[in-house]
Amino acid sequence: MPRRKANDRAGPVKTRSREGCSECRASRVRCDTKKPACTRCTERGLTCSTKIVLKWESEFASRGQAFGRAGVWSKSKGAGDQPSTPSTSSLNASPLDEQEWCFFPHVEPWNFINSSTDAFQLPCRVKPTDDDHAIVRAGDSRLIPSSHGIESVMLQLTNPMPPLSIFPHFAGNMQGQLFEYYVQRICPRTIATANSPSPLASIIIPFCSTASETVSKAVLALGACAMAQNDPGYCAIGLRLKSEVIRGLRHNLTAAVSSTYPELLVVMMLLCLYELVDHCDERWIVHLKGAKELIRFRRQQAALPAPGNDEVTSFSERFFAFQDIMGRTACGKQALFGADYWRHNEHKIDPWMGCSPELVSMLSDITELSRTRRQLSSDSDQVALSLKAANLCRGLEELAQDEDGGDEALQDLAELKRLAAILYLHCALQNASPTTDLVVSYVRRILKLVSEVLDAGACIGLSWPVFAAAVELDPLNDELWKDDDGNTVCGRPLVLRALAAMSESNVLSVARTRAVIVKVWQVRDNVLKPPLGDTSDCNDWERYVVPFSEAMSLA
């Protein structure tokens, strides 16, 4: 029977249905869509199944085919309408160009802090090696200096390097390679300015030429330890040299000759640096305490109340005193070294410390006040402490640190440490917390300047300001500012990228610093309270920072 014309049919025109079963659609016949099986499949004994096949317009466009009948053919078209064909431009257009994609933020691998059961079962445990894998290398070129080759390193040495001919027993062998690495790669990465040589080069290297073999082996051991961070093959060499140095140190200690005192201090300092390079191993505290006892014994024997006068002794003693003060800002331990190494009227920036001795002295005073704060019993003592804290705060705000060479990087570093000291004072003495407006302001100022310093390619000496700002970040308000592209800059990713850049540039390991920062973040996120007993009198710094900051080096 012939099909009716459109004029003779009653009702709307029935177009093809999308609900037909697979068998009817494959045979191009109408399906009555009865359930569970249509009539045709029932009569023929076929399996009636309805499958939905998704087709993507981008796939058809990439093959140069029309997508369905849209714009190509229609049953009911006007008399004046002409069949349309897909345009060549639409067929040749890239599928990505035809789509409007939603904006997805750039997620970087260092945005994630992993927690395990140890975070709850061992809340005070900090293992630096657990976080070594989380230090992302060369992830953001804006925050990681582009070059640390020999050419850029050599610019930091104002004086020519001592030729290996001065040390003939080093030339042409593995020892020569280690010594050259110490001179060219370690020494420049221990000072934050290119206008002054590192004391490890200008003071220690000339001293090696006249000292015993133990000092030379200590230099080589430090070089091997630093090289082992990139090439594990040097690890055994470093350990062997270290054991020989310790054996020689014990022998010299038993000799008790006054002329070997500078040599003993230098060896202890190099061993201390060895442990700091080696993932900031807590054994560096052993050398720090040993140096303290040696200095105390020498002063008792020689009746010398002041630090050593010769250049080698003065630098070595100040090295240990600086390490002691900066480490105690985090852990709050009792001082090992006195305040006679620093004077309140020394405004000139020390290139090796990255700040003025006056600032170091004020940091020592803040730490001592923080230690005695909880031991105060009377109201008059509390008032006296508040007055001292106010005077220190005023002194820090008005502190002017002088730098004669016009080195902007060194001036920025000194300013960072001054801002971090003010932040530390408010948290340790005035009960400020991450939600305090003053703390929020200083954290933002510190991290903003850290970002600018890193963009300029300077990464030396940032441990203390980065640590102070990182542990006082508000976990519920991490957005700091918007960059030039309008993207929001958040605190925690910025801190982790800064630590990654520092790990690339610094010779000293930042593994423990990173581990403690991450631990503090986890505790704040989980609202865990460290097992300190009665914490009612603890301020924010004592509750969240001090319990995890044992054996930290922030110098």
What's the confidence (pLDDT) of residue 422?
Answer: 92
| Torsion over CA: 381, 326, 192, 291 (sign) | positive
Q: pLDDT, tens digit, for every residue of 505-540? A: 777 878 888 888 888 888 888 775 554 444 557 788
Helix or strand holding residue 481 (H, E): strand 479-482
What's the confidence (pLDDT) of residue 470?
Answer: 92
What's the confidence (pLDDT) of residue 445?
Answer: 92
What's the confidence (pLDDT) of residue 95?
Answer: 54
Q: In terms of Cα–Cα distance, which of 55, 58, 64, 65 is closest to 97?
A: 58
Q: Which two tokens stand for residue 104?
A: 């997805």
What's the confidence (pLDDT) of residue 127?
Answer: 64
Helix 408-429 and helix 463-470, axial crossing angle in degrees, nearest 10:
40
What's the confidence (pLDDT) of residue 211?
Answer: 80
- Asked if omega into 145 is within 30° of 0 (cis), the reply is no
What's the confidence (pLDDT) of residue 134?
Answer: 46
Phi/psi of residue 385, nearest 5 degrees: -65, -40
What's the confidence (pLDDT) of residue 467?
Answer: 92
What's the confidence (pLDDT) of residue 289?
Answer: 87
Q: How far apart are the first and last CA of the chain?
A: 98
Q: What is d(CA 489, CA 548) in angstroms, rounded to the nearest whole number?
A: 27
The pTM is what? 0.71
Strand-pairing partners, residue 348, are 402
The residue extents of the domains of the chain are 19-50, 173-341
List of the chain residues with pLDDT < 70: 1-17, 69-101, 105-172, 256-259, 302-309, 528-536
Q: Which fold has domain 19-50?
A: CD2-Gal4 (4.10.240)
What's the confidence (pLDDT) of residue 406?
Answer: 73
